[in-house]
Structure 1
Amino acid sequence: MQLLDGKLVSEKLKNDIALEAAEFTKQSGRQPHLVAILVGNDGASETYVASKMKNCEKVGFKSSLVRYDTSISEAELLQKIDELNKDEGVDGFIVQLPLPKHINAEKVTEAIDHRKDVDGFHPINLGRMQRNLPCFIPATPYGILLMLQEYGIDTTGKYCVVVGRSNIVGSPMSILMARNNNPGNCTVTIVHSKTPDITEYTKKADILIAAIGKADFVTADMVKDGAIVIDVGINRVESSETKSGFKLKGDVKFDEVAPKASFITPVPGGVGLMTIVSLLKNTLSAAKKEIY
């Protein structure tokens, strides 16, 4: 079993990004600029956004945080998005999800200029991704592709099972793994909460990607020997062993699945770190105007 080490790969890629960003700044006279919009004070969102901002500074980007109370109206938020779309000093921006219930997340996503949509959620980017055209790929699936590339894992001809069908991870991941690309060229099955006997599919998978959002969901009996296991889950589970009162667990029961796997990602220290690297790569690409 070999660990797919997100920390190791993300640090290497951040060094590469920093060199590219320095060259961009030298040529253009300005730093790549990422803006994050945060509505409310959800604990997980606060952590994610703080990490994104910190990593921007590490690689030589400018980062800005726009905060709003949960009472902000949908119209006010859409007005801010319109401002950022028109601001030539902003290369890319994200609206951190989840949003309060009175704000339509789909409407917000579609209001973002697809050329600044560094989260890769806009329908134009998703459509281009499906067509294998230049686009911003959603950050978590993109991070998984980068990790597979860095470890030189050949996915061609493999059977890939994706557990979960969210618009953020499961659905785009299934498209990416099936595209005529490397990583890609897999035969792909998506299983989800309405699939009868999920194990029937997962135990045949050469590559198993777990993104269902349930701690320890994938157990040893669901995985075939030698499988490549990618754990996307980041679940906060109550724990008396930590100061915070919780610990992070993946969707995969790591201790029992790891001995069966040829490669496996840990949680934490796996896919989560790669997601941030992907956001940085997308922002640099936006600054260079690589997406039309």
Structure 2
Amino acid sequence: MRLVRYGRPGKEKPGLIDDEGKLRDLSGVLADIDAATLSDKALRKLAKVATASLPLVRGTPRFGVPVAGIGKFIGIGLNYADHAAEAGLEAPKEPIVFMKAISCLNGPDDAIVLPKGSKKTDWEVELGVVIGTRAQYVSEADALNYVAGYCVVNDLSERSFQLERGPQWDKGKGCDTFGPVGPWLVTRDEVPDVQRLDLYLEVNGKRMQTGSTETMIFTVAQIVSYLSQFMTLEPGDVIATGTPPGVGAGRKPQRFLKKGDTLRAGIAGLGEQQQDVLAWQAK
């Protein structure tokens, strides 16, 4: 299933994308797509609903983050061998873990706002993993059984905040609008091999990132298992699993986002998102 949340910010309704690519309303079946929806049992029950019986949604409504009530937004750094190489860094021996502020979550096509004082805002298309079952000290062999599904994430990063203002990455990762997620959540059963997915990102129509989850240093199963040794992963938690090469900081000369840019990013089978870049303005 391809699950979505659509409508105005804060007023989203649950929906799904049918086999013909049409949006169907799920609000008569469940209140929202949240932690209670994401267990294997709940998803199996939802899959039995006759899609053709669901109301069609007219027009082209805004899509929100496809999961409501996200508790943790976890990032993994330098997780593609070719991205580590472009950064001039050795491949990590253990996953690099950081947190993105929940307040940075953004709809997949909502505008990105450059933070006040930004000089080096960068892009990072990433595979997002959504936890479906509470995970604590899980094995690598069992780890994918705790995943509800997958989605596209753009891990926007302000490099001067991240790397030039102290050792903690979080300052450059959690700025408002820096976490577009979606357009939809694709359930685990529809992704036969999560380590064979192509990713891409364009800026103003020019391809900047082209990669595959095949080049991950740590697989999705390894990441879920690893994180569960240090924190309990709860249903609805989102993990951004790292980015392939082609980020602005790795280009020669470096290229960072500016007002008026347009981003387009996607992952095979998981959909595509697009954002306009705006400048920060005092309210």
Q: TM-score, normalised by structure 2?
A: 0.28
More strand, by proportion = 2
Q: TM-score, normalised by structure 1?
A: 0.28
Higher RCO (CA-CA < 8 Å; seq separation 6+): 2
| Bigger Rg, structure 1 or 2 | 1
